[in-house]
Amino acid sequence: MPVSLTTLRDLKQRGEKFAMITCYDAIFAQTMSQAAVDCLLIGDSLGMVLQGHDSTLPVSMADMVYHTRCVARGNHHAFIFADMPFMSYATVTDALKNAGDLMQAGAHAVKLEGGGWLAETVTQMARCGIPACVHMGLTPQSVNVFGGYKVQGRSADAAAKMVEDAKLLEQAGAALLLLECVPTPVAKRVTEAVSIPVIGIGAGPHCDGQVLVLHDLLGMYQGKPARFAKNYLQGRDSVKDALSAYVQDVKSGTYPAPEHGFSQ
Ligand code: KIV
């Protein structure tokens, strides 16, 4: 059975975890399907891991459409998310046009970075049949505002704002949320505050789903590995075995372990 938004909502309701991995081409999409990965994300991290940039900012809509088409061709059953790149959703009009292009390229949902200010955008997307996942916390497209890749939501005020934004976005029609580099207790509060599924990366074990960048999962790091990275290829014979082990660990709650998360 193909994974759908309904599958992900049901999993949350039953308290069962789901696994997502970033994917950029057809052969990995096929291998991830064989490894029973629930969700594939065509992340704009491709600007760093594939294109060699030092941020995600140079990634274009054409890049994202191209890689979404490649992944969709190799995919069998997973639910596909495609990232909206930097400045592709600065206005509601741009957001609808660009999200539509990603859906036509084979995405089942789009992901965009921000907070409460995206409420009107996600409402209009939902109206047009486009499920939106809002990426909160450390949003890499805002690295120049943050002054680096830093944990977000550590102060009491910032944590409360994150919970409020999450509720607002759910009410506005967001289909999912994704939290990156958020203290474990804050991610738990957000996940419990909404009924839509919440995916985490560097956000502790309480989120409904987990995502890892493919290259981090295969031990291919650009410099120092992120705290939440785990090399699943180590001690295994094949990429497929590594992917399957990650899926199993997410579903059993073994990954992420406490050391992969951040304190408040
Ligand atoms: O672009 C990406 O790979 C992402 C993940 C880090 C969640 O947004």
Active-site residue, from 16, 113, 170, 180: 180
State residue 100's pLDDT score.
Answer: 98
Active site residue 180: yes
Q: What is the pLDDT of residues 172-220, one digit of tens each?
A: 999 999 999 999 999 999 999 999 999 999 999 999 999 999 999 999 9
pLDDT value, residue 260? 98
Apex 210 CA angle, 112 and 260, nearest 5: 110
Q: What is the pLDDT of residues 98-145, one digit of tens each?
A: 999 999 999 999 999 999 999 999 999 999 999 999 999 999 999 999
SS (H, E, C) 46-81: HHHHCCCCCCCCCCCHHHHHHHHHHHHHHCCCCEEE
pLDDT band at 222 (very low <50, low <70, confident <90, very high): confident
To the nearest 10 degrees (0 to 180), the angle between helices 61-74 and 26-34 is 40
Q: Which of 143, 149, 211 gets mutated to test ligand 1 (max ligand atoms within 8 A of its CB)?
A: 211
Show the 3-state SS of 173-205: CCCEEEEECCCHHHHHHHHHHCCCCEEEECCCC
pTM: 0.98
**pLDDT single digits (tens) 225-260:** 999 999 999 999 999 999 999 999 999 999 999 999
